[in-house]
Structure 1
Amino acid sequence: MAGFFAVEYTYAPEAAAVRDRFRPEHRTWLSAQHEAGRLQFVGPYSDGSGALLMITADDADAARDLLAQDPFARESAVAAVSVKELTQVFGPY
């Protein structure tokens, strides 16, 4: 049974140009994941330090496998990734 995984991307300031270059491809990938039901929501932190994603996956390994397909991951535009399973108490579903 699929579960929710809170994902935190931490951005390194020195990779800003890489993120800018690949952001259109990254956003297209995010949109495809959302349309497929694998991405519930996503957004960058207002201070530019990273982003928060909520994804649906069978387990943490499947979540990491999905994230590895992100163009930002492929281009090493993310300094660190945290994946934590979330137990939903309230919300849609």
Structure 2
Amino acid sequence: MYVLELAFSPSSRRLAARSAHRQRLVELHEQGVLVQAGPWQDGTGALLVFDTDAQGVADIIAADPYYRTDGVTVVALRRWQPVVGAGAAP
């Protein structure tokens, strides 16, 4: 699994691109690739959890222009190994 952290800054472009991005997230979730996603409550960014490999996440980021939109910054992409819940190691 991979965790992607985003940071947001005020931008009308980000808000304009958000609807299409969220629709893409729904599609990825339906495909089983996106486990969870959502913004921080204070609106400063978001966290996304993907159940795919590094290339899969790279392809997702490359295909969605939201990640390159003014007001969106990729803070970190890290491999994550849960020990409890979905995807937990035995």
Give the TM-score band, short-chain normalised. 0.7 to 0.9
Aligned length, in residue pairs? 87
Task: Output the CA distance in 1 between the equivalents of 2:56 and 2:71.
Answer: 21
Q: Percent identity?
A: 34
Q: Is residue 66 of structure 1 aligned with residue 63 of structure 2?
A: no
Q: Which amino acid aligns with 2:76?
A: S
Structure 2: gaps of 5 or more residues: none
User: Match of 2:44?
Assistant: 49
Deviations 1:18-66 (Å, cap 9, x if unpaired)?
A: 12111110111110100011100000011111000000112x2331221
Task: Output the CA distance in 2 between the equivalents of 1:91 and 1:21.
Answer: 34
Tell me by how many angstroms 1:81 deviates: 3.6
User: Match of 1:18?
Assistant: 13
Q: Which amino acid aligns with 2:16?
A: R
Tell me by how many angstroms 1:71 deviates: 3.4
Moved over 6 A (4+): none
TM-score, length of structure 2 as denominator length = 0.83
